[in-house]
Amino acid sequence: MLDGWARRHLDPILDAAGSRIATAGISANGVTLAAFAVGIAAAAFIAQGWFLTGLGLLLVSRLGDGLDGAVAKVRGKTDLGGYLDIVLDFTFYGAIPIGFALADPAVNAVAGAVLVFSFYVNGASFLAYAVMAEKRGLESEARGAKSLFFTTGLAEATETLAVFVAFCLLPQWFAPIAYGFAALTFYTALSRIVLAARTFR
C-alpha cells in the first residue's frame, strides 16, 4: 500500500547511488546477492537474540534490495536479474520470522509459522497473477518498471519492512504483531484472488 509513496521519495536517492555503483563496475546481480547475504546474516543474529544488530543488517539488506534495480537501470535489466530479485526477496521475507521463532520457540514458533504461511499464500497469489498477466500481455508500472507484473495490496514491501523493524525493536511483542500482519497479508492475497477472478474469467 505504501510502496508507491516510498518509491517517489527514495527513487531519486537510489538512482543516484545506483549510478555510482554501476560506474564502479558492480553488477545489479552482485548487489542483489550481497543484499541477500546480509539479510540472511540479519536472520542469524536475530535467532541468537541480537535484535538490534539484526535490525541494522536488515536495513542494510533492504537498502541493497533497492539499489539493485537502480544499478540495473544503468547497466541493463535482465530476466535473470528479475528472477534472482524476486526469489531472494521471498527467501529473505521467510528467514526473518524464522529467526524470531528460533530466538524463542516457546513463544514465537506458532506465530512465526502463521506469518510465514501467510507470506507463502500471498507469494503464490502474486506470482500466479504475474504469470497469467504475462500470458495475456497485460502491463503495469504501478510500482515502477519491473521484470514481471506487479499487483498492489495492503501488505507490500514497505509494510513488511516496517513490521520487521517493529519486531526488532519490540521482540517481546513479536507474536501479536505477527498475527496482525499475517491477517493483513491473508487479506492482500484474498483481494488479489478476487481481482484475478474478475480479470481472468
Amino acid at 33: L
Q: How many residues are there in the chain? A: 201
What is the tally of helices (H) and strands (E) in the chain? Answer: 7, 0
Tell me what pLDDT residue 116 has. Answer: 97
| DSSP code of residue 143 | T
Of the pLDDT bands very low, low, confident and very high (cuts 50, 70, 90), residue 200 is confident
Q: How many CB atoms lie within 10 A of CB 12?
A: 11
Amino acid at 82: G
* 3-200: CATH architecture: Up-down Bundle (1.20)
Report the C-alpha gap between 87 and 112 in whole angstroms: 20
Residues 38-51 have pLDDT tens digits of 999 999 999 999 99
Tell me what pLDDT residue 172 has. Answer: 97
Tell me what pLDDT residue 10 has. Answer: 65
For the chain, which residues make up each domain, given as ranges? 3-200
Residues 144-166 have pLDDT tens digits of 555 556 677 777 888 999 999 99
Q: Which residue has the higher pLDDT, 2 or 128?
A: 128
Is residue 64 within 8 A of residue 93, CB to CB? The reply is no
Average pLDDT over residues 73-79: 82
Q: What is the dihedral of CA 73, 74, 76, 78, to 10 degrees?
A: -50
